[in-house]
Chain A
Amino acid sequence: MIDQLRQRARELLETGQAAVVIGYGERAGDGRPVPLFVTQPAETARLVFTPACVDNLARYLTRKDVQALGRPALVATPPTIKAVAVLVQENQLAADGLVLIGVCCEAPGTAGTACALLAGATLAELEAEVAGRLRGQELTEAALARVAALEAQSADERWAFWEAEFARCIRCYACRQACPLCYCEQCIVEKNQPQWVPSSPHPLGNTLFHFYRAFHLAGRCVLCDACAEACPMDIPLGLLNRKLAREVRDNFAYEAGYDHTAPPAMASYRSSDQEAFIR
């Protein structure tokens, strides 16, 4: 599979269909997968793909310095493809503005499991393939077990839980920087006229930052867990994102990342939306 991947990358560069291939390489010394930007056909030999390759590379598509390299080809796992779908949906990318090399593993993160190229070439084809693999698998009872456990606790217990988690936050913004959908040139935390979110890493500032971020991702998050993996303090950000993703699914019958032509959940409405909570 890796030979096919490298061959495809090489062809894309040689024929000029892509100016850069964004994929995974291996760090010298311990072989940890790292993002790799290949502009020369000969360098495609450095591309790898293993179950350990879980970084969401769509993150780089909205970076100006990467865009300056020219038309990208992206080695895209299913969560990466979903992220691309949302970026296209939100007009940050054109669907034909990049080449996608779809890849997947039987069990991402688990060493030794089989990896393969996906069959699709266009975004629409890959979306369909990804939906076939993932749709209905992500917000299952098992995946939401920790969310449900928190929901079963009292409000005070939940508050205490999140207070303890947010107290560890050092406001490094690794979560934000790793997320393919946090692409604002100026984040809400960087606005100080007025200062909506204190920039200080005290409990109030941290709580507000995570509330804002979770809400800004509602209906957009593709559940890739790049944020949770990036967090150096092991804050379980995936819980917040999954909770809201489930609410969006249950209330609006919408899951982000499967159809770049669909109207985004939080930027659309139905007159029949439920309003039992409104007096």
Chain B
Amino acid sequence: MAVLDQAAGAPAPDAVFEPRITAFVCNWCTYAGADLAGTSRLKYPANIRVIKLTCTGRIAPGFILKAFQEGADGVLVSGCHPGDCHYTSGNYYARRRWTIFRQLLDFAGIDSRRVQFSWVSAAEGRKWSELVGRVTEDVRALGPFSAFHAITRSCTGSEE
């Protein structure tokens, strides 16, 4: 038994797996785009929890790891298109970071479809809703991220 509880309650065996997706998005583009999806009444899966940051340049890879630690099955990271960053270049630095970080995760044996990246502008409400739908289905197909969740904190004395 893991030291920490995972998702509140285990689903019934024949229930459809509902992946938990955490999204880290920038305030100026993607968050506005998601807002537009909402005001346009575009439907997209409720599996996603959105965390707003000022810029993708603020996103430390540690956020992605923390999301997995806290029970996420997949992570989506999204921001302004290159050239459109509200802070001019934050997304360029982020792009380099993501390029390397996803290689680290892949090398460690984490399926790269669990961490996805996109550019979604403030005008792309439809893109956002479709993107969330696709990412949700990708992660649903991969199943729960049990390998990562299973390594949670086993210590001598716990019943592992």
Contact = CB atoms under 8 A, between A and B. Distances in A.
Is there any pair of Cβ atoms, one from A and one from B, under 8 angstroms apart in the complex? yes
B82 A275 contact: yes
B155 A202 contact: yes
A159 B114 CA distance: 14
Interface string A262-274: 0001111101011
Contact of B95 (A151, A207, A215, A273): A273
Contact of A271 (B82, B97, B107, B109): B82
Interface string A251-279: 11000000000000111110101110111
B116 interface: yes
B96 A265 contact: yes
19 contacts: A150-B107, A158-B107, A200-B155, A204-B152, A208-B65, A212-B65, A218-B104, A244-B100, A244-B104, A266-B100, A271-B82, A271-B92, A273-B99, A275-B82, A275-B99, A277-B117, A278-B119, A279-B116, A279-B134
Given A215-B100, A243-B103, A247-B100, A155 B110 contact: yes
Nearest to B112: A277
Contacts of B106: 155
Contacts of A244: 100, 103-104
A196 B62 contact: yes
A80 to B, nearest CB: 25
B62 A159 contact: no
B10 to A, nearest CB: 20
A198 interface: yes
A160 B109 contact: yes
Interface residues of A, number: 47
Interface string A139-177: 000000001001100011111111100000000000000
Given A265-B96, A277-B102, A243 B153 contact: no
Contacts, number: 112
A212 B131 contact: no
Interface in A207-223: 207-208, 211-212, 214-215, 218-219
B95 A269 contact: yes
Nearest to A157: B109
A211 B153 contact: no
Contacts of A275: 82, 95, 99
Closest 9 pairs between A and B when the two form their complex, measured CB to CB = A159-B109, A158-B109, A269-B92, A279-B118, A203-B151, A247-B103, A155-B109, A278-B117, A218-B100
A238 interface: no
Interface of B: 61-62, 65-66, 69, 82-83, 89, 92-93, 95-104, 106-112, 116-119, 131, 134, 147, 151-155
Nearest to B155: A202
B157 to A, nearest CB: 11
B145 to A, nearest CB: 11
Nearest to B60: A196
A274 B108 contact: no
Interface in A186-203: 188, 196, 198, 200, 202-203
Nearest to A162: B108
B108 A211 contact: yes
Given A269-B93, A269-B95, A279-B118, A205 B153 contact: yes
A265 B96 CA distance: 8
B112 to A, nearest CB: 8
A215 B98 CA distance: 11
B154 A202 contact: yes
A248 interface: yes
Contact of B117 (A203, A247, A251, A279): A279
Contacts of B65: 208, 211-212
A34 interface: no
